[in-house]
Amino acid sequence: MAATPHRLGTLASRPLGTAMVPRANRSAGRVAMAFTPGVDGDYAHPTTTLAVIAPSPAAPAALLTTALAINWTDSATGPDDDPVAMSAFVLHGQLDVARALASMGPAAGAAEPAVLLGGFALNMSCNPALQPPGEVCNSNGIWATHIAVEIDNGSVVLDRASGVLHFDLAFELGRAWTPDKGGGKPFNWRMTFDAVFDATIVLAAPAGGRVTPGARVELVSSLWAPSSAHSAAITGKPGVPAGEVGITGWGFSLVPQHANETSRLGRYFESIAFAVEKQVYAPTSGTASFAVQAHLTAPLTVHDVGVKAWMAPALVQLDGVSSGSTRVVGVVCEDVKLFSTDVVDFDVPVAAGKM
């Protein structure tokens, strides 16, 4: 994220597709990353950690992607010196998977669906015409207090008669003022947002693999003392040659550390980190060991506050696949009020399973 603390504005990390390189056991693609604090320019170094899975045409499994989008304008409530805005939505996704099921042949009847989170993009702006009388826009950014994105695993339903998969995605975003009222900056009473969330659909018959949800990782820390990487493991189906860890949800909430702490929980951030890293997969046991990063940071010039961060990992195992993971680093810098978007190429070596 930014090299100095900022409000949170546009934030994006979206893989733009991949393609296997014939006979080279590699997968290439692009990742779009963006960040803007909504005010003066600065450097930012966004990073995306991604996994690539390339199923064999012979495997009774399929991977598909879809995207859910939403646009809204929030409205803060509360006293003039302590406004709060909270948005919460449940987005319904559906995708026609009939062709994918047909390609699996007789195994399609036993295929089970799972849905994981992919990339996302969050854009925001403040429209002066939408503010209450006498109020102005301070920027196109917010002091975020809460963000949560999660696939509702209980909502994933495959209608085999129509070949349509249904699922729900829950999204929440909260914002507030800072203890020092933004250092004298006015509060945006109304903000307009656009959000896009990518979802990866996995269809696999028992012979083709499975998706195993892991235990939810919950970390409690503060902006001044962020949590360290948390070690975790998921054991799925033994004997599957390839496995990669994805996620079904992530989020954070800023919380008071002391009973007398101000209710204005908004803060400037220096970094935001949510990632699955350092994965090691053991095919014999079907176990993936990995580290979870889930924290936010700010320097001592920002009031400290408690951070409750979480991530929901899941192990994807598909027989007859090639898989690999990589870490893509971008640089965005523009000395104006909006940062540019950096589109970074990646080239991942993949290890073949039983092709």
Q: Which tens digit of pLDDT belongs to each residue from 11-45?
A: 888 877 654 444 445 556 677 777 777 665 556 66
pLDDT at 242 over 90: no
The DSSP H or E segment spanning 342 is strand 341-349
More confident residue, 17 or 316: 316
**One-letter-per-residue 3-state SS of 156-181:** EEEECCCCEEEEEEEEEEEEECCCCH
| Beta carbons within 10 angstroms of residue 228's beta carbon | 11
CA distance 234 to 251: 20
Determine the pLDDT at residue 20.
43
Determine the pLDDT at residue 2.
45
| Beta carbons within 10 angstroms of residue 132's beta carbon | 9
CA distance 266 to 297: 13
Instruction: Give the global pTM.
Output: 0.88
2: CB partners within 8 A, 6+ apart: 35, 37, 42, 43, 44, 269, 270, 271
Unique residue bearing structure tokens 């925001």 = 124
Q: Provide the H-helix boundaries in the chain.
A: 98-103, 181-184
